[in-house]
């Protein structure tokens, strides 16, 4: 079967209220004690499986979970073992007759005998069934801990599992609880958190972008939903690491990349009269951008300035350089993510476009026109780049990003070699424009700081000396990129 659920972390100050809201007269409390298994070289975790034996009050259940479609759905197969006097022996043959079980055996290969208990999860679950928009949803509050050796991780999370009905009902209920209790979305599973605890790792892997599989005759609505889905696959895990407080600078970078990609898709292929998600994503990315600018100064600019002999005091602080975790735990952020998930996985996503309007609304037609228009404008920008001010150059940089992301999104529509050649020409230009923009941001920050700290003038002068070489490099890279023709030939 397919398990569809959403999981949220409960802020410490809201836990009593959430517990009271869940534990109504129809709720039950179940003690869940689970052992999770893997090989010493993590064959199951690397393949996306979770294999456990769990005691649910007095009954033992063996469960196998595998990757599903995106972050909302997972494949699941449960086998009840009934009451047992002792911990039962793990038997993977119980799953052998279903596809996910066969995939498990393939992942293990000859290493079935190497399976061992890696960590434990011990929680009290308070749960009840709730109805929303005709759907049956299990609401489950888990409170307890994950244990691996001497390591401990607190568990205090609220799950919404779709038992029957539609995803719309699940998201509607979750959205109401988010608004009421300030919950924040966390796509990390207990098995993922336990695996990291067992390995002594603080955070999970950084998730990078992937491209959707589109066809030229796909309706624009369906294509945009597919693109939104792959963007969310990048955004959600990186955001979860950051919101937990454990994320790294690279998680921050990739979360922002995912948001930029999605904004580009909405601008290129979205309905101008549709929901205002693009400006909301822009505002969120701006708050995260201040933290990224600070990290850039700490890791790259400070060493270079010190090596140049700068009498450096405190680095400039952006006005909005707040903790990314605080921005990502905001109710407005969680509601935005839920709305985007609803769009990506909505019922309309799998419906064909209206045949009568196919030529006008297919992704192939719209993408070809959009890419052609952006390329034409950027050719003009390349010719005028030397005479622009920095604000206009920054807009050119954003336009180039939009072109690159747009081509990546629809790369499955074109011949592979043509797409790769074109993207290979765009990347150096984007990097050169990015370096120039970073210098401009840093110079402006130090120039502002110099009004109260004269030591900052050294940095202003040093950065000013780098400006012209970087500007020339950016102009040259942009001209070279625009000399390449965009892909036009569709796959046969």
Q: Is residue 205 part of a domain?
A: no
Q: Is residue 416 part of a domain?
A: yes
Cα separation, 366 vs 488, whole angstroms = 13
Cα separation, 226 vs 409, whole angstroms = 10
Cα separation, 492 vs 330, whole angstroms = 47
C-alpha 176, offset from chain centre:
22
**Each residue's pLDDT expressed in tens, for the chain with a length of 492 residues:** 788 999 999 999 999 999 999 999 899 999 999 999 999 999 999 999 999 999 999 999 999 999 887 777 889 999 999 999 899 999 999 999 999 999 999 999 999 999 999 999 999 999 999 999 999 999 999 999 999 999 999 999 999 999 999 999 999 999 999 999 999 999 999 999 999 999 999 899 999 999 999 998 899 999 999 999 999 999 999 999 999 999 998 999 999 999 999 999 999 999 877 888 999 999 998 888 877 777 777 778 888 888 888 887 666 765 555 689 999 999 999 999 999 999 998 844 444 445 444 445 789 889 999 999 999 999 999 999 999 999 999 999 999 999 999 999 999 998 888 899 999 999 999 999 999 999 998 899 899 889 988 988 998 999 999 999 999 999 999 999 999 999 876 665
177 and 278: one domain? Answer: no
Q: Is residue 209 part of a domain?
A: no
The helix or strand, by DSSP H or E, that contains position 412, with its residue range, turns out to be none
123 and 263: one domain? Answer: no
Tell me, what CATH number does 139's domain have?
2.40.320.10
113 and 66: one domain? Answer: yes
Buried b (16+ CB within 10 A) or exposed e, 261-280: bbbbbbebbbeeeeeebbeb
CA distances from 490 to 68, 226, 360, 367 (A): 30, 19, 17, 12
227 and 164: one domain? Answer: no
**Beta strands at 184-185 and 151-164: parallel, antiparallel or unpaired:** unpaired
301 and 173: one domain? Answer: no
114 and 235: one domain? Answer: no
Q: How many domains does the chain have?
A: 2
Backbone angles phi, psi at 120, to 5 degrees: -125, 150
Provide the residue range defining the domain that includes 399: 220-482
Q: Is residue 357 part of a domain?
A: yes
452 and 421: one domain? Answer: yes
Q: Is residue 215 part of a domain?
A: no
Tell me, what CATH number does 268's domain have?
1.40.20.10
296 and 434 in contact (C-beta within 8 Å)? no
Q: Is residue 91 part of a domain?
A: yes
Buried b (16+ CB within 10 A) or exposed e, 216-226: bebbbbbbbbb
Domain boundary among 199, 230, 255: 199
168 and 235: one domain? Answer: no
126 and 270: one domain? Answer: no
């Amino acid at each position: 079967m397919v398990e569809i659920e959403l999981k949220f972390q409960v802020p410490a100050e809201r836990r009593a209220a959430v517990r009271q809201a869940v534990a109504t007269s129809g709720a039950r409390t179940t003690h869940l004690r689970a052992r999770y298994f893997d090989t010493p070289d993590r064959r199951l975790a690397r393949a996306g499986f979770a294999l456990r034996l769990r005691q649910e009050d007095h009954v033992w259940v063996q469960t196998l979970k595998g990757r599903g479609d995106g972050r909302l759905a997972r494949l699941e197969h449960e086998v009840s073992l009934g009451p047992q006097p002792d911990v039962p022996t793990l038997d993977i043959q119980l799953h052998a007759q279903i596809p996910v079980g066969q995939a498990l055996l393939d992942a293990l290969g000859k290493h079935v005998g190497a399976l061992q208990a890696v960590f434990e999860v011990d929680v009290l679950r308070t749960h009840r069934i709730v109805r929303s928009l005709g759907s049956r949803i299990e609401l489950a509050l888990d409170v307890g801990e994950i244990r691996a050796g001497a390591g401990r991780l607190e568990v205090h999370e609220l799950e919404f599992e779709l038992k029957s009905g539609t995803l719309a009902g699940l998201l509607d209920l979750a959205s109401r609880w988010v608004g009421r209790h300030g919950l924040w979305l966390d796509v990390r599973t207990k098995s993922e958190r336990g695996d990291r605890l067992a390995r002594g790792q603080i955070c999970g892997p950084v998730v990078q972008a992937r491209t959707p599989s589109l066809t030229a005759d796909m309706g624009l609505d369906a294509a945009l939903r597919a693109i939104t889905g792959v963007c969310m696959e990048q955004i959600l895990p990186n955001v979860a690491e950051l919101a937990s407080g454990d994320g790294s600078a690279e998680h921050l970078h990739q979360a922002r990349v995912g948001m930029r990609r999605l904004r580009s898709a909405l601008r290129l292929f979205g309905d101008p009269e549709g929901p205002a998600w693009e400006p909301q994503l822009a505002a969120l990315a701006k708050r995260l951008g201040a933290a990224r600018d600070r990290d850039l100064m700490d890791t790259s600019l400070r060493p270079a300035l010190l090596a140049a002999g700068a009498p450096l005091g405190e680095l400039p602080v952006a006005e909005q350089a707040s903790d990314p975790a605080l921005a990502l735990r905001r109710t407005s952020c969680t509601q935005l993510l839920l709305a985007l998930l609803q769009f990506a996985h909505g019922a309309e996503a799998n419906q064909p476009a209206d045949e009568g309007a196919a030529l006008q609304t297919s992704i192939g037609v719209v993408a070809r026109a959009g890419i052609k228009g952006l390329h034409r404008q950027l050719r003009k920008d390349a010719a005028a780049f030397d005479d622009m001010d920095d604000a206009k150059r920054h807009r050119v940089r954003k336009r180039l990003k939009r072109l690159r992301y747009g081509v990546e999104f629809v790369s499955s529509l074109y011949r592979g070699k043509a797409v790769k050649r074109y993207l290979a020409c765009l990347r150096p230009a984007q990097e050169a424009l990015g370096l120039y923009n970073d210098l401009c941001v840093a110079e402006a920050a130090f120039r502002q700081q110099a009004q109260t700290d004269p030591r900052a003038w050294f940095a202003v002068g040093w950065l000013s000396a780098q400006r012209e070489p970087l500007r020339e490099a950016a102009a040259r890279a942009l001209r070279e990129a625009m000399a390449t023709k965009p892909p036009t030939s569709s796959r046969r």
